[in-house]
Amino acid sequence: MTPKLAITAGDPTGIGPEIILKALMIKPELLDQALWTAIGPTAWLSSLPAHAHLTRLDPCPDQTDAGTCSYAYVETAAALALNHDVVGMVTAPICKEAWIRAKKPFSGHTEMLASLSDTTRYAMAFASPQLNVMLATIHIPLSLVSQHITPERLFEKIQLAHEFGLSLGYSHPRIGVAGLNPHAGESGHIGAEDLTIIKPTILKAQQAGIHVSGPYPADTLFHLAANEHHVDIVLAMYHDQGLAPLKLIAFHEAVNLTVGLPFIRTSPDHGTAFDLVGKGTANPSSMLMAMRLAIQMAGS
Cα separation, 38 vs 67, in Å, equals 18
DSSP 3-state of 60: coil
Q: For the chain, how long is the longest CA-to-CA vector?
A: 63
pLDDT of amino acid 139: 85
pLDDT tens digits for range 19-78: 999 999 999 999 999 999 999 999 999 999 999 999 999 999 988 999 999 999 999 999
> Which pLDDT tens digits describe the chain residue by residue (300 residues)?
899 999 999 999 999 999 999 999 999 999 999 999 999 999 999 999 999 999 999 999 988 999 999 999 999 999 999 999 999 999 999 999 999 999 999 988 999 999 999 999 999 999 999 999 999 998 899 999 999 999 999 999 999 999 999 999 999 999 999 999 999 888 888 889 999 999 999 999 999 999 999 999 999 999 989 887 789 999 999 999 999 999 999 988 999 999 999 999 999 999 999 999 999 999 999 999 999 999 999 987
54-64 pLDDT, tens digit each: 999 999 998 89
Strand spans (E) along 21-127? 35-39, 54-57, 88-91, 123-127
Provide CATH 3.40.718.10 ranges for the chain: 1-119+261-300, 121-260
**Cα–Cα distance measured from residue 239 to residue 214, given in angstroms and rounded to the nearest whole number:** 18
Predicted structure pTM score: 0.92
Instruction: Give the pLDDT score at 117.
Output: 97
Amino acid type, 123: A
DSSP bridge pairs for 124: 258
% pLDDT > 90, the chain: 89
Mean pLDDT over the full length of the chain:
95
Pick from 135, 21, 118: nearest CA to 78: 118
CATH number at 1-119+261-300:
3.40.718.10
Pick from 110, 191, 196: nearest CA to 154? 196
| pLDDT value, residue 230 | 86
User: What's the rounded Cα separation, in Å, for the pair 181 and 179?
Assistant: 6
φ/ψ (deg, to 5) at 6? -100, 155
- Three-state DSSP at 265 gives strand
pLDDT value, residue 1: 84
CATH superfamily membership of 121-260: Isopropylmalate Dehydrogenase (3.40.718.10)
